[in-house]
Chains A and B, each alone.
Chain A
Amino acid sequence: MSLPGFLQMGRFSVFIWGAYGFTALMVFLNIVQPLIERRKLWKRLQRNLDDGVEDTHEEAE
C-alpha cells in the first residue's frame, strides 16, 4: 500500500485520523502536563531551601 493510500483509509479517513489524533493529543498532554508541574515543583522546593523559610501557603500533613 502506498503512503497516500494508507493515509486515505477508504471513505472514513477524517474520523479515523481524528480519533487517533485526539488520542495522541491526550496521551501527549498527559505526558507533558506532569513534567511541567514537576519542573515547577522543583523550582519551588529549591526556592524554599534557599530562603530557608517554610512555605506556609498550604498546610502539609
Chain B
Amino acid sequence: MKLIHKYSAPKRFYELAGMLAPWFATLTALLFISGLYLGLYWAPPDYQQGNAYRIMFVHVPNAWMSMMAYVAMALFAAAGYIWNIRLADILAKVTAPLGASFTLTALVTGSLWGKPMWGTYWVWDARLTSELVLLFLYVGYMALQASIDDARRAAHASAIIAIVGLVNIPIIHYSVYWWHTLHQPASLTLTSQPKIYITMLIPLIIMSIGFMFFYLTMLCVRSRSEILWRERRADWVRKLVESRS
C-alpha cells in the first residue's frame, strides 16, 4: 500500500513508467517474434482447418486483451472515482483506445477466420456478437470522455459509465450466448474446434503474453504524455521541458 502511494504521485509514476517502458517493449518484441515463428512456421497445419487455424494466434489474444483491458479500465476508473487518485483516472483514460483497438482487431480477425470456416465473413456467433457490443461500450466511454472538457468531471462521469458497463458485461455476454444457442445449432461456433494440441497452445500462450506486454508498454507511453499534459503547470514539468530545449 505504501508502494502504491509512493508511485501514484504523477511525477514518480512518470519516472517509473519511463524506466519500465523500454524493458516492456523489448519483452514484447521478443515474445512477438518467437510467437510468430512458432505459430506460423513451427506448428504443423491442422488436419481439419489446414492453415486457417493460425489466425487463432492473433484473434484469441486480442479477444482476451479486449476484455481484460475493459476490466482494467473499469477498475482504474473506479479507483479514481472512489479514492480520488488522479493517476488512476489517467490510466483508465489511456486504456480505452488500446482496448478498443484490441476489440476491433479481434472482430476483424474473427471475421477473416470465419470466411474459410463458415463461408461468410460475418456470422452472429455469440463471441463475435458480444465482442461487437464491447466495441460499442468502448466507443461510448471514449465519446463521453472526449465531450467533457473539465478533466475531473470527465474522469468521474466516464468512471460511472465504465462501472455500469462492467456490471452489464456478464449479463450481456450470457444473454447473447443464450440467444445464439436458441437460434443456431451449436456446431457453428469458433469454440467448437477440434482439440487444442500442445503445438497450438504454446504459440497461443506466447502471443497472449506478448499482447499483454504490448498493452503495458503502450500504457506507459500514453500515460506519460497524459501526465505531462495534465501537470504542465507543475514545476517539475517546466524544469523537464527547459532541460530538453
Contacts and interface: CB of A to CB of B under 8 A. Distances in A.
A51 interface: no
Nearest to A1: B41
A15 B50 CA distance: 12
Secondary structure class of chain B's binding surface, majority of residues: helix
B151 A19 contact: no
Contacts of B83: none
B112 A34 contact: no
B169 interface: no
Contacts of A45: 228, 232, 237, 241
A46 B239 CA distance: 11
Given A18-B112, A58-B149, A23 B105 contact: yes
Contacts of A12: 50-52, 116
Interface string A18-61: 11101100110111001101100110011011000011001111
A19 B113 CA distance: 8
Contacts, number: 98
B55 interface: yes
Contacts of B45: 10
Nearest to A8: B51
Given A29-B101, A34-B218, A59-B150, A23 B62 contact: yes
A26 B104 contact: yes
Interface of B: 40-41, 45, 50-52, 54-55, 58-59, 62, 86, 98, 101, 104-105, 108-109, 112-113, 115-116, 149-152, 214, 218, 221-222, 224-225, 228-233, 237-238, 241-242, 244-245
Interface of A: 1, 6, 9-13, 15-16, 18-20, 22-23, 26-27, 29-31, 34-35, 37-38, 41-42, 45-46, 48-49, 54-55, 58-61
13 contacts: A10-B51, A15-B116, A19-B55, A19-B58, A20-B40, A20-B55, A22-B108, A26-B104, A30-B101, A34-B218, A45-B232, A48-B232, A58-B149
